[in-house]
Amino acid sequence: MTLEHQYLMQEVDNLRIYEYLKERLRDAGFSTCRIRRLPVQTVIEVVVDRPGLVIGPAGQNIKNLTRELEEKFGLKNVRITVLPVEVPELDPSIMAWRIARAIERGIHFRKVAFWALSRILEAGALGAEIRISGKLTSERARTETFREGYLLKSGQPKQIYLREAVYHLLLKPGVYGIKVSILPPEAKAAEYPIEPPSPQRAEEAKSPEEQASK
């Protein structure tokens, strides 16, 4: 097996572990995880909103989770580190999860969306967008969008700064989709450099009249 193939298989395994933890720890408010494979052990850092649920009484839950990962994915000497989310209101995974829990408890989706937008902006975000899809008020599925502040929609700054997450919720009417996009405080519009066009690009951008006048 080549090194490239080994690396590819390892990345596939990491994705499977990520998806497993995302579902397994959804009640704890799963945000993300980081997997480091060392020569003698596998270190997994789990970031959640409610660390106590992952650890459990006397560490029993985390012991069970460690055993599950070793058996299900063939890992050896797994060490799990549980970290809290630094600012939950700026984490789109956590906010999508909170919105889903509120809708599940019967709170109207518009009220939940406006509450979430308020919490996100109070935490210092420059902007946020919440999209909720499903059979919201009738038999026909549709999407409602709630937006506040400034957002990036395209380009490299979006790839660098914009945080997005999607959460699916199964209720009696059907599946709800919740997408949360957050532009964090560190993404300031003044920091986005605009590079001048190259001479060739500048020439191509000229109108036919400008080019003919030469």
pLDDT bracket for residue 154 (50, 70, 90): confident
pLDDT of residue 2: 78
Q: Between residues 160 and 66, which one has the greater pLDDT?
A: 66
| Percentage of the chain exceeding pLDDT 70 | 87
| Percentage of the chain exceeding pLDDT 90 | 63
Q: Residue 23 burial (CB < 10 Å; 0-12/13-18/19+)?
A: exposed
- Compute the distance between CA of residue 26 and CA of residue 23 in angstroms, rounded to an integer: 5
Q: How far is CA 61 from the centre of its chain?
A: 25
pLDDT of residue 82: 96
Q: How far is CA 132 from the centre of its chain?
A: 15
- What one-letter code names the amino acid at 167? Y
In this predicted structure, the answer to whether residue 212 has a pLDDT above a threshold of 70 is no
Whether the Cβ atoms of residue 54 and residue 65 lie closer than 8 Å to each other: yes
Alpha-carbon torsion, ordered 110, 112, 115, 119, to 10 deg = -130
- Compute the distance between CA of residue 174 and CA of residue 40 in angstroms, rounded to an integer: 46
Instruction: Read off the pLDDT of residues 163-185 as tens digits, 9 standing for 90 and up.
Output: 999 999 988 888 899 999 999 99
- Among residues 102, 75, 90, 101, the alpha carbon closest in space to that of 20 is found at 75
Instruction: Read off the pLDDT of residues 82-119 as tens digits, 9 standing for 90 and up.
Output: 999 999 999 999 999 999 999 999 999 999 999 999 99
Work out the mean pLDDT of the chain and round it to a whole number.
86
In this predicted structure, the answer to whether residue 23 has a pLDDT above a threshold of 50 is yes
Q: Is residue 133 helix, strand or coil? A: strand
- Lowest mean pLDDT of 50-59, 113-122, 200-209, name the range: 200-209
Mean pLDDT of all residues in 15-36? 93
pLDDT of residue 1: 67
Please name the residue that has the structure tokens 């989709």. Answer: 177
Instruction: Could you please state the CATH topology (level 3) that the domain comprising 88-191 is classified under.
Output: Ribosomal protein S3 C-terminal domain (3.30.1140)
Instruction: Could you please state the CATH topology (level 3) that the domain comprising 3-84 is classified under.
Output: GMP Synthetase; Chain A, domain 3 (3.30.300)
- For the chain, domain boundaries: 3-84, 88-191
pLDDT of residue 58: 92
